[in-house]
Structure 1
Amino acid sequence: MVSAIFGLPDQVSVFGLDVAPFAILLTIIIVVAGFIVAHAIRLLVTRYIGTRLPIDARRTTGRMIYYGVVAIALLSALGVSGLDLSGLFIAGGFAGIIVGFATQSLFSNLISGIFLHIDKPMKIGDPVLITGKLPEVAGIVVEVTALSSRMRMFDGTYVRLPNSDVFLSQIRNFSTAVARRVELTVSIAYKEDTSRVLGLIRKSLDETPQVLVEPAPDLYVDKLADSSVEINVWCWVPFSVWFDMKKKLVEQVKHVLDANGVEMPFPQRVVYISRNEPARPDPGKEPPLDKEPASVGVNVQEMSEHR
């Protein structure tokens, strides 16, 4: 009926199939409209909605939306065309399954990259420690793309991490705090007065300008170890000087204890040999026949050397 109004034939042959001209016209309109709508949505996402994303992730997201809308328009157009495309759909379904399995990790990294940009657990230039899903990775964030994150390790090497693994891992960001705690463990001999040693270390920290007054330094006896008494020294310093102060404070505490005669022992071990056991003869040397083997005992003590 519509064909008669416009003076068109009722059926035309397309690839050996009879199709109504109006169906062909409607198919063309849907395809053209699909491309126009896809282009408009991509511009909307890249220029307005996706402004929080970096430029590469924004473009990738825009392309995905564009091709998705175009695919929906093409399928809709084929649905109204009247063509029997059941065989093509079956083949396309198998191809889609194969492509889906092949690109599963790709899309997983892409989606994880988008969520990393939205959540922002780390940004370029941040020193971070990533644990959990990945083996322990520590370094400076260099780049976060749509598919992967690149880091410069503290030894100068670079590592590329898939975004899906980074997103599922624990990210410890060291740059988000103004101050960071320096933790030291000092071992002293059992003969030393712990109160005196704590006072010496605390005085040294109080005279260090970079050590913060609030939170105050915390010093306490932590453990009675096999060969020494272990003291934990905790103090807070500005984040920008944490690495330098950690190295400096170790040397500073060592110098203070040495200057005041505080012994920091090496591991000690006391070995006792019973006096009732006869000494074992040397296997390469036969004992003299005119003397009976004597019973000997030794008390050996490995004393620690003073630093």
Structure 2
Amino acid sequence: MGITLDMADVGAEQAFGITIEDWLLFFLMLVATVIIGRVCYVLIRRFFDARLTKRASKNIARVVEYTILGSGAYIGIFFILHLQLTPLLASLGIAGIAVAFASQQIIQNFIAGLIIGVERRIQLEDWIEIVGVTAYKTARVRDITLTKTVLLDPAGHLVYVPNSTIINSQVINYTQAGFFEVPLEVRLDRKADIDTAIHVIMDVAEKEPNILPNPHVEGNRDLERLFEMITMKMKVSNTDLKLFSPRVLITKIDGDDLVVSIRIWIMDPAHKDDIVSRFLRNLNTACLKECVVLNSS
């Protein structure tokens, strides 16, 4: 048995020209490369975080780390193991094909990561939502690697999303859009004064600072600059921006109830639930004062 193993080892060394010492040196080279890359990443982040944005600092650190890892792998494969690519691929044969099929998902995520990096459809700190995937609700992008994207939802949960999922799904980027619409539904008593109810709803919406008012409010330069940016991005006229003001629509009559849809636009997706809760609480208080009856569903 011992002779057989020795002959197998000798045969492997003759086939590839690689000794045990070469493999050990290659492994130590990889370990050292990973450590050096990680240390450089941490040092660069510490240096640039206070001087640049967190997004720019992380991108610079990641490029340096990946460059070090790639260089270490290149040196290890071609200068320590002295491997030639063509004979190596030929020697792998069917085993190489099987590995390729098994790693198909990894390759897809890797390519998707490259596409995300080039297209920049999402970036660090963006608030996004993956449409049609209930597991991925509105969340902030905390990290983008070559195979996965890390999201942090408002509840503090870290969600790891394969990059291929982001590429193959419809993604809403609330940060790049600047703001987003929140539809709400309330029920009014069918005998209620509709005009009074609409006036109360609009008044409460206008008093909420986190709900977008009329885009032409004077004195709000930050909001005006935001709408100017959105106008250029969406290629719409200023009059079209009135669509972003709060709207109240009667959608149907259900027995003794009038079903009303309230459409509001907010600029802070991180506090969406808090804004909606405060708005509904203030709406309920205002309706009680004006004798407008809100029915439960």
TM-score by shorter chain over 0.5:
yes
Structure 2 partner of 1:74: 84
Aligned ranges for residues 89-128 of structure 1 at < 5 Å? 91-128=91-128
Runs of 4+ in structure 1 deviating by more than 6 angstroms, as ranges, are none
1:245 to 258, 262, 275: 275
CA distance in 1, matches of 2:252, 2:103: 54
Give the AA of the match of 1:233.
I
Letter in 1 for 2:156: G
Q: Does the Cα contact within 8 Å between 2:128 and 2:174 map onto a contact in 1? A: yes
2:140 aligns with 140
- AA aligned opposite 2:262: V
Match of 2:265 in 1: 236
- Report the equivalent of 2:130: 130
- Decide whether the 8 Å contact of 1:131 with 1:171 is kept in 2: yes
Q: What TM-score do you get using the length of structure 1 for normalisation?
A: 0.56
Deviations 1:276-298 (A, max 9, x none): xxxxxxxxxxxxxxxxxxxxxxx
Q: Does the Cα contact within 8 Å between 2:208 and 2:279 map onto a contact in 1?
A: no
Is 1:218 paired with 2:228?
A: no
Q: Give the residue type in structure 1 aligned to 2:124.
A: I
CA distance in 2, matches of 1:206, 1:140: 27
Residue number in structure 2 paired with 1:34: none
| 3-state DSSP of counterpart to 1:123 | coil
- Give the AA of the match of 1:231: V
* Aligned residue number for residue 204 of structure 1: 204
Structure 1 vs Structure 2 CA RMSD: 3.6
Q: Which has the larger radius of gyration?
A: 1
Which sits farther off after the overlay, 230-239 or 252-261?
A: 230-239
Distance 2:204 2:110 in 1: 52
For structure 1, the residue ranges without an aligned partner over 5 or more in a row are: 1-14, 16-51, 77-84, 268-307
Change (3 A) 1:196 1:89: closer
Name stretches of at least 5 consecutive residues in structure 2 with no aligned partner: 1-13, 15-57, 216-241
Which structure features the higher share of helix residues? 2
Structure with greater contact order relative to length (CA < 8 Å, sep ≥ 6): 2
Structure with a larger share of its residues in strand: 1
One-letter amino acid matched to 2:118 = I
C-alpha distance 89-163 of structure 1, shift in aligned 2 (>3 A): closer
**Are 1:260 and 2:290 counterparts?**
yes
Deviation at 1:139, TM superposition (A): 1.7
1:144 deviates by: 0.7
Task: Give the direction of change, closer, same or farther, for the CA distance of 1:251–1:96 in structure 2 (3 Å limit).
Answer: same
Q: CA deviation at 1:207?
A: 4.2
Answering whether residue 193 of structure 2 is matched by residue 183 of structure 1, we say no
Aligned residue among 63, 70, 73 for 2:70:
63
Alignment coverage as a number of residue pairs: 208
Task: Please say if residues 60 and 146 of structure 1, whose CA atoms lie closer than 8 Å, have aligned partners that are also in contact.
Answer: no
Cα distance change of structure 1 residues 180 and 99 upon mapping to structure 2, 3 Å threshold:
closer
SS at the partner of 2:177? coil
Residue 58 of structure 1 deviates from its aligned partner by: 7.1
Percent of matched pairs sharing the same residue: 20
Deviates more, 1:125-134 or 1:229-238: 125-134
